[in-house]
Structure 1
Amino acid sequence: MQDELRDYLIKDEPYYRPVADEIELYEAAYSVRMPMMLKGPTGCGKTRFVEYMAWKLNKPLITVACNEDMTASDLVGRFLLDANGTRWQDGPLAMAARHGAICYLDEVVEARQDTTVVIHPLTDNRRVLPLERKGELIQAHPDFQVVISYNPGYQSLMKDLKQSTKQRFGALDFNYPAHDLESEIVAHETGVSLDVASKLVSVAERARNLKGHGLDEGISTRMLVYAGSLIHKGVAPLAACRMALVRPITDDPDMRDALDAAVTTFF
């Protein structure tokens, strides 16, 4: 293990409940270093899954939260000035490729397409990363893998991956777990009873049915964990749900009233 990557090792097992055969499929993909794409709505467990797999495989995980201002240099690296002049600083992608980590590009479609193309030579049989400014060609470490995630619900002509990018990856679909499993997850993560967790999931399912009918996105498992954590700390369920579930996802008064009514139904 390179010293540079010790801080990126996940030491404690992340809590993750498999929904299908995603763990076995990912392990098979990693064994041949297939780049992987995780597709699913926000807050459904994609990042937790990557963390769990990095822990299970005992590989360092370098995570990059992609955004529209991110440049190729932010991923690859740049020259920096210090007291001794200029020195090269590897970006997260270069560090992962050089030393052998899993590089996770979260919500990759938020980055500009001219930025994401820098991963292309790392995601085919070449497995190289050209550092043009430095005049170096990094041969990817045998342990290196690229993983990307995105939410297909936000696809548009302006914000989607090129086919030339998509076809370099294997893909796993993620969605919100079945009611009983999601209730178990919420109860475990928050400390509330299974009954309270089940009611929270029921509220979320009502909201998810409204996606595309007044809501851009439904209530995520992550939001349910927030609400459950508040309830566990003594906040009244109605207030916790309004603050953690309803208010963040809509400003429309009628939609808020409809969701508040759903909360009242269960609590």
Structure 2
Amino acid sequence: MSEINALDPSQYLIKDEPFYRPVADEVELFESGYASRMPIMLKGPTGCGKSRFVEYMAHKLGKPLITVACNEDMTASDLVGRFLIDINGTRWQDGPLTVAARIGAICYLDEVVEARQDTTVVIHPLTDHRRVLPLDKKGELVEAHPDFQLVISYNPGYQSMMKDLKQSTKQRFGGFRFDYPEEAVEADIVAKEAEIDKETAEKLVQIAQRSRNLKGHGLDEGISTRLLVYAAQLINKGVDPKKACTMALITPLTDDDDILDTLLTTVDTFFE
């Protein structure tokens, strides 16, 4: 990707409105946070809608969105940029955080606690009154575009002493706590996303509720809304509901034979 293309905001716009069902006043609060360019933190379990919410808000606000899937091998250079060598010599390539700061995008760092703490420190100057990003290797100080906003997310259920944000990082953000929606709302979401009947969606949600009761009793996480949509999409394509549930809900979740049997029995209860 050329430097000109990288700095074209239009390529980062969400063209089609993502489906998102508000569960409280999170949309209005996010809009207020964006109005003051407040950095935002989203906390919640896997597959509960955090990333979809960010996509929805970027589309609603008409702002470009640059998403970074954080991982433990990610370095500060992966975020801000690095010098590259090509046939024409040495050139600088901005990282996604730098591109977002230059063009006024919303930069979304997904599962930020997966990144090393010495990497996440680079966001600090962007999340206070300075709103700047130092590119030390290039000797440049990037002043964030007036429209730039930083959003991060993580799953508190996985945090530990080794994988948590520093207080000096946490206290730079306003926060939202996400969870799986209430049963009726979640069933509406699954039915809408997968275009299946409400009765089937309600059965899938009931299966998920049973699995979530096993959290801490054999499961690290229960069945997510995302997995429910996967199962519903398979059913919509004509796959037998039991096979769809086994493929999308149960097999990815655990390798424990006892838990597998428990979940399969639950599926049998709702799909005879």
Looking at structure 2, the residues matched to 150 and 24 of structure 1 have their Cα atoms a distance apart, in angstroms, of 21
Looking at structure 2, the residues matched to 194 and 140 of structure 1 have their Cα atoms a distance apart, in angstroms, of 46
Looking at structure 2, the residues matched to 195 and 59 of structure 1 have their Cα atoms a distance apart, in angstroms, of 37
Residue 244 of structure 2: aligned partner: 240
Match of 1:89, SS state, is strand
RMSD value over aligned CA atoms?
0.8
Between 5-14 and 164-173, the greater mean CA deviation after superposition? 5-14
Looking at structure 2, the residues matched to 227 and 13 of structure 1 have their Cα atoms a distance apart, in angstroms, of 23
Looking at structure 2, the residues matched to 5 and 105 of structure 1 have their Cα atoms a distance apart, in angstroms, of 18
C-alpha displacement of 1:241: 0.4
Structure 2: segments with no counterpart, 5+ residues: 1-5
Structure 1: segments with no counterpart, 5+ residues: none
Residue 205 of structure 1: aligned partner: 209
1:226 corresponds to 2:230: yes
Residue 162 of structure 1: aligned partner: 166
Looking at structure 2, the residues matched to 266 and 17 of structure 1 have their Cα atoms a distance apart, in angstroms, of 25
Residue 53 of structure 2: aligned partner: 49
The one-letter code of the counterpart of 1:250 is: T
Question: Which residue, 174, 177, 190 being the options, matches 1:173?
Answer: 177
The one-letter code of the counterpart of 1:77 is: G
Residue 21 of structure 1: aligned partner: 25
C-alpha displacement of 1:11: 1.1
Q: How does 1:60-209 map to 2 (within 5 A)?
A: 60-209=64-213
TM-score (ref. length: structure 2): 0.97
Tell me the alpha carbon deviations over residues 107-137 of structure 1, each in whole angstroms, 9 at most, x when there is no partner.
0001000100000000011100000000000
Question: Which residue, 257, 263, 267 being the options, matches 2:267?
Answer: 263
C-alpha displacement of 1:52: 0.3
1:39 corresponds to 2:56: no
Looking at structure 2, the residues matched to 99 and 256 of structure 1 have their Cα atoms a distance apart, in angstroms, of 48
Match of 2:72, SS state, is coil
Contact 2:201 2:232 in 1 (8 A): yes
The one-letter code of the counterpart of 1:124 is: D
Match of 1:20, SS state, is coil
Misfit runs of 4+, over 3 Å:
none
C-alpha displacement of 1:3: 5.4
Alignment length (residue pairs)? 266
C-alpha displacement of 1:191: 1.4
